[in-house]
């Protein structure tokens, strides 16, 4: 580690781009992680000198591909194949477009009058604030999802407060 040079870090980044192993954003994340490793090593006395990652550049790489949106037919087929409560959780994800942590943080208080409000994502076990101001908006619930949520609530003994929707 003491002898790593910027040209070697650059080679790692270039190889990841050339092999199309990682997309451009992932290579950016890799560079940040490598820089953090060298910063920590320097703080701990294992490395002296300038961080060799600093002057490396992000190579041209494939752009991240567009995410795929399931069709209503595909969603219906998946819902028919999934057991409960997985089917209801998948329906929430499919029909409201919330992030994973936002779904995990939903409580029954967030579901009122046919709408869901995102108030507290849970990420890696920690309750956090919504990622953006727009994330706190009200999301209308379509009939297929409303029916599933009511059945799910009934299975839970008509939970009203404190319980998470995904439990």
Peptide bond between residue 85 and the one before it cis (omega within 30 degrees of 0)? yes
Token digits of residue 55: 């002057």
Query: Does residue 166 lie in a domain region?
Result: no
Tokens 């320097």, residue located:
42
Task: Note the pLDDT of residue 22.
Answer: 74
- Whether residues 94 and 124 share a domain: the answer is yes
Give the residue from 65, 81, 102 where a domain finishes.
Answer: 65
Query: Does residue 2 lie in a domain region?
Result: yes
- Whether residues 45 and 13 share a domain: the answer is yes
Domain count across the chain:
2
For residue 43, give the CATH number of its domain: 1.10.150.130
- Whether residues 41 and 99 share a domain: the answer is no
Mean of per-residue pLDDT scores for the chain = 85
> Does 56 score more than 90 pLDDT?
yes
For residue 123, give the CATH number of its domain: 1.10.443.10
31 against 132, higher pLDDT: 31
Token digits of residue 156: 């839970």
Strands 126-127 and 122-123, bridge-based pairing: antiparallel
Task: Note the pLDDT of residue 16.
Answer: 82
CA 103 to chain centre: 11
CA-to-CA dists, residue 32 to 35, 42, 52, 53, 58, angstroms: 5, 15, 12, 8, 11
Contact by Cβ (8 Å): 24, 62: yes
Give the residue from 16, 37, 65 where a domain finishes.
Answer: 65
CA-to-CA dists, residue 98 to 9, 23, 48, 104, 140, angstroms: 37, 24, 45, 10, 12
Q: How confident is the model at residue 64 (pLDDT cuts 50, 70, 90)?
A: low
- The dihedral of CA 49, 51, 54, 56: what is its sign? positive
- Whether residues 80 and 140 share a domain: the answer is yes
- Whether residues 77 and 150 share a domain: the answer is yes
Give the residue from 65, 92, 110 where a domain finishes.
Answer: 65
Residue 60: domain span: 1-65
Among residues 37, 34, 38, which one has the least CA distance to residue 50? 38
- Whether residues 39 and 90 share a domain: the answer is no
pLDDT digits (tens, 9 = 90+) for 77-94: 999 998 888 999 999 999
Contact by Cβ (8 Å): 120, 126: no
Q: What is the DSSP string of 114-146?
A: TEEE----EETTEE---SSGGGGSEEE--HHHH
Query: Does residue 164 lie in a domain region?
Result: no
64 against 137, higher pLDDT: 137
Query: Does residue 162 lie in a domain region?
Result: no
Query: Does residue 56 lie in a domain region?
Result: yes
- Whether residues 77 and 147 share a domain: the answer is yes
What is the Cα–Cα distance from 165 to 145, expressed in whole angstroms? 12
pLDDT digits (tens, 9 = 90+) for 103-135: 888 888 888 889 998 888 888 888 887 777 776
């Amino acid at each position: 580690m003491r002898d790593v040079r910027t040209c070697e870090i650059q080679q790692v980044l270039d190889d990841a781009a050339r092999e199309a192993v990682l997309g451009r954003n992932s290579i950016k994340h890799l560079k940040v992680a490598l820089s953090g490793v060298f910063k920590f090593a320097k703080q701990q006395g294992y490395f002296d000198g300038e961080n060799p990652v600093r002057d490396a550049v992000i190579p041209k790489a494939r752009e991240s591909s567009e995410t795929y949106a399931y069709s209503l037919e595909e969603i219906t087929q998946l819902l028919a194949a999934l057991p409960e409560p997985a089917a209801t959780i998948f329906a929430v994800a499919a029909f409201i477009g919330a992030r994973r942590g936002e779904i995990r943080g939903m409580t029954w208080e967030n579901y009122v009058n046919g709408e869901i409000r995102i108030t507290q994502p849970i990420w890696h076990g920690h309750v956090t604030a919504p990622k953006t101001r727009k994330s706190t908006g009200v999301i209308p619930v379509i009939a297929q999802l409303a029916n599933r949520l009511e059945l799910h609530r009934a299975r839970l003994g008509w939970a009203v407060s404190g319980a998470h929707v995904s439990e």
